[in-house]
Amino acid sequence: MQVTQQRYYTPEEYLELEETADYKSEYIDGEIIPMPGGTANHNRIAGNFYAVLNFAFRQQEYEVFNSDMRLWITQKHIYTYPDVTVIAGEPEFFNNRTDIITNPQVIVKVLSKSTKGYDRNDKFEAYRTISTFQEYILVDQNRIHVEQFYKTGKKQWTLREYDEEDEAIALATVPFEIALQDLYNKVKFEVVESEREIADTEELG
């Protein structure tokens, strides 16, 4: 049985490849992992969060970046693209490259079916090695459900969940609040199950 050898890349090789790639990829300690394409709901949610945050902080000492900004996690040797990143004060750029930041305070991730387990576990663990990182927001794109993790002490994090349309998320580490109605504005949830139920009912009738 033939064994395929895994190709490992240096961070420099990854960055060079990423410059001309047709799609984004993550770099995880030598491996290049293509990122799944974003759905319409994914883009709506990430765009809503970014737009409201960016407007709210227009006169404050915070800066907001969308998924075009790359993040370098030094201790884990990971390059990744958070959906939304909030930085307190001035961004710290890696190796003087203005497309790579290293000092996020808040990270927002819209969950995808294929990566939600990784985002909740290994990715969150990697983010926690960043000294400035204090808050993590995970947003479900298939139903109204948001998980908010925020740092309360050394190696201590608190979880809050939101799942009702009339609720609002108040970030714990920056002065910001967003209503779930605004976060999920124009999001269209899948109705596959209900359509199947209607079809089954019609057949029985």
| Residues 94-124 pLDDT 10s | 998 999 999 999 999 999 988 899 999 999 9
Whether 31 maps to a domain, the answer reads no
**Structural domain boundaries enclosing 160:** 39-63+83-204
**Distance in angstroms (rounded) separating the CA atoms of residues 76 and 11:** 12
Q: Does residue 16 lie within any of the structural domains?
A: no
Asked if the structure places residue 15 within a domain, the reply is no
Q: How many helices (H) and strands (E) does the chain have?
A: 6, 13
Look at residue 202 in the predicted model and tell me its pLDDT: 45
Sequence letter at residue 123: K
Q: Tell me, what CATH number does 166's domain have? A: 3.90.1570.10
Query: Beta 25-28 vs 70-73: how paired, if at all?
Result: unpaired
**Exposed/middle/buried for 157, CB within 10 Å: 0-12, 13-18, 19+?**
middle
The mean pLDDT of 1-14, rounded to a whole number, is 78
Q: Average pLDDT, stretch 1-13? A: 76
User: What is the reported pLDDT for 38?
Assistant: 82
Tens of pLDDT, residue by residue over 142-176, are 999 999 999 999 999 999 999 999 999 999 999 99
> Could you tell me if residue 28 is inside a domain?
no
C-alpha distances in angstroms, 68 versus 4, 29, 82, 167? 33, 21, 8, 29
Residue 77 lies in a domain: no
Q: Is residue 20 part of a domain?
A: no
**Residues 42/72, Cβ–Cβ less than 8 Å:** no
Phi, psi of 64 (to 5 degrees): -120, 135
Cα 59–Cα 60–Cα 65 angle in degrees, nearest 5: 100
Q: Please say if the pLDDT value at position 35 is more than 70.
A: yes
Asked if residue 121 belongs to a domain, the reply is yes
Summarised one tens digit per residue, pLDDT across range 46-92 is: 999 999 999 999 999 999 999 999 999 999 999 999 999 999 999 99
Position 2 in a domain: no
How many structural domains comprise the chain? Answer: 1
- Is the pLDDT score of 201 beyond 60? no
